[in-house]
Amino acid sequence: MHDLPSVIEAELDAAKSFLSLLREESDVLVAGDTERLSSIVQRKSELLQKSGHLAREREKLLPLAETGDWMRGRPEISNAWQDLIVLGQEIKQLNEVNGKIIDVRLRATQQSLGMLQSLSRATTYLYGPDGQQTSVGVSGNYSIESA
């Protein structure tokens, strides 16, 4: 693939695939389906590498500064280029939303861990067989049979 129209079309296809993958990632994040998340991250990485390669190839064929002038007389390529720009903006926005979902989930997980750690350090007072108060960590260390 060494002609500019083919490279731009390939970039457009890759961007559409990436946007679709981000939508899937968003659904998975909302559902909390962490098992599917690793597969999505792998596919995102592959698509990013492909997109980077295509962008470098496009830049070799036509530097970005010259792209607008070159496309003025070529509406079929100009339309694909404009679609690529719009998709890039959608990708950026959805990626930011997914990042916020991840942040919210991370904070909730950290709060839950903090609560569990605090509970594991908590002390509960029970009465032993001799009637004396005995302190026991919530984590165990005292069996009901010994009471």
* 88-124 residue pLDDT tens: 999 999 999 999 999 998 898 888 888 877 766 666 6
Residue 143 has pLDDT above 70, yes or no: no
Q: CB–CB of 8/82 below 8 Å?
A: no
Q: Per the domain annotation, does 118 fall within a domain?
A: no
User: Are 133 and 127 within 8 A, CB to CB?
Assistant: yes
Residue 72 lies in a domain: yes
Question: Exposed (0-12), middle (13-18) or buried (19+): which is 7, by Cβ within 10 Å?
Answer: buried
Q: Is residue 144 part of a domain?
A: no
CA 49 to each of CA 22, 53, 138: distance values in angstroms, whole numbers, following the listed order: 15, 6, 49
Residue 67 corresponds to which amino acid? T
> pLDDT digits over 26-58, tens only?
999 999 888 899 999 999 999 999 999 999 998
Q: How many domains does the chain have?
A: 1
